[in-house]
Amino acid sequence: MLAKRVIPCLDVKDGRVVKGINFINLRDAGDPVEQAQIYDAEGADELIFLDITASHEKRGLILDIARRVAETVYIPFTVGGGIRTVDDMHAIISTGADKVSLNTAAVRRPEVITEGAKAFGSQAVVVAIDARKRLDALGWEITTHGGRQRTGIDAIAWAKECQERGAGEIMLNSMDADGTKAGFDIPLTKAITDVVTIPVIASGGAGAKEHFAEAVLEANASAVLAASLFHFRELSLREVKDYMASQGIVVRYKK
């Protein structure tokens, strides 16, 4: 079995790490570069930075953060938020980031997934899927703009299309579970992992160490992601990894 990854996610707004529930009621959670250094030292497998107020006017801020992270952190990291074109991807990759995360832009113009994969390799292209239960409760649909806009696009069909277009990984965020600490959305995650062969990162809802193991054992997630639990030191990466290991899951420890 390949080692399962534990990934802290840092939502960045105006140069600071923030966290809320469903992207509202945001609390300050520190300096992103300092947080990255702490997580690297604690044994995070990767990091994901999401610029939640991204715009071309403010793009320089996240680029500067990414450069500073690349200079001081030695684990892979992904940057997302407002990335629309191959030029945007190039700007991010040029800072030293390992991967870019596409979300709304990929929904609007799926060709950008393929363009990114051709330019930088599939391993560098992550598609973030913000999924929510349909209003009729029959399956899940893709949402954009932080989960606020429903698209009507079937989440399972979209995940398959992302893989076919060249995405190397899916970051699957349950908008129903996000920030609730009630656990990952196991049915949604399993529905996606059942139809794709690329890695799926389970995101949204972690509240206890048991939840991380459930996402791997019950939904076949390749990686598990959390934000506020780690930012506010409610759980440490070591506690999570130790519990996962106790459940027979292969994890990596920092040497």
3-state secondary structure 48-60: EEEECCCCCCCHH
Does residue 180 lie within any of the structural domains?
yes
For residue 192, what pLDDT is reported?
98
Burial of 58 (0-12, 13-18, 19+ CB in 10 A): middle
For residue 72, what pLDDT is reported?
94
Question: Which position has the higher pLDDT, 233 or 244?
Answer: 244
Query: pLDDT tens for residues 102-121?
Result: 999 999 999 999 999 999 99
Does residue 254 lie within any of the structural domains?
no
Say yes or no to pLDDT of 82 above 90.
no
The SS3 of residue 117 is helix
Say yes or no to pLDDT of 21 above 60.
no
Say yes or no to pLDDT of 124 above 60.
yes
Distance between CA atoms of residues 49 and 66, nearest Å? 8
For residue 153, what pLDDT is reported?
97
CATH number at residue 240: 3.20.20.70
Does residue 252 lie within any of the structural domains?
no
Say yes or no to pLDDT of 22 above 80.
no
The residues facing 77 across adjacent strands are 47
**How many domains is the chain built from?**
1
The overall average pLDDT reported for the chain is 92
Query: pLDDT tens for residues 135-181?
Result: 998 999 999 877 788 999 999 999 999 999 999 999 999 999 987 88
State what percent of residues in the chain have pLDDT above 70: 93
Residue 97 per-residue DSSP state: -
Does residue 86 lie within any of the structural domains?
yes
- Segment 36-64 mean pLDDT: 85
For residue 16, what pLDDT is reported?
85
- The range of the structural domain enclosing residue 181 comes to 5-246
For residue 56, what pLDDT is reported?
55
Query: pLDDT tens for residues 190-213?
Result: 999 999 999 999 999 999 999 999
Does residue 96 lie within any of the structural domains?
yes
Q: Which residues contact 6 (CB under 8 A, 6 or more apart)?
A: 44, 45, 212, 223, 224, 237, 240, 241, 244, 251
| Catalytic residue list | 11, 130
Does residue 251 lie within any of the structural domains?
no
Say yes or no to pLDDT of 26 above 80.
no
For residue 254, what pLDDT is reported?
86
Does residue 133 lie within any of the structural domains?
yes
Does residue 253 lie within any of the structural domains?
no
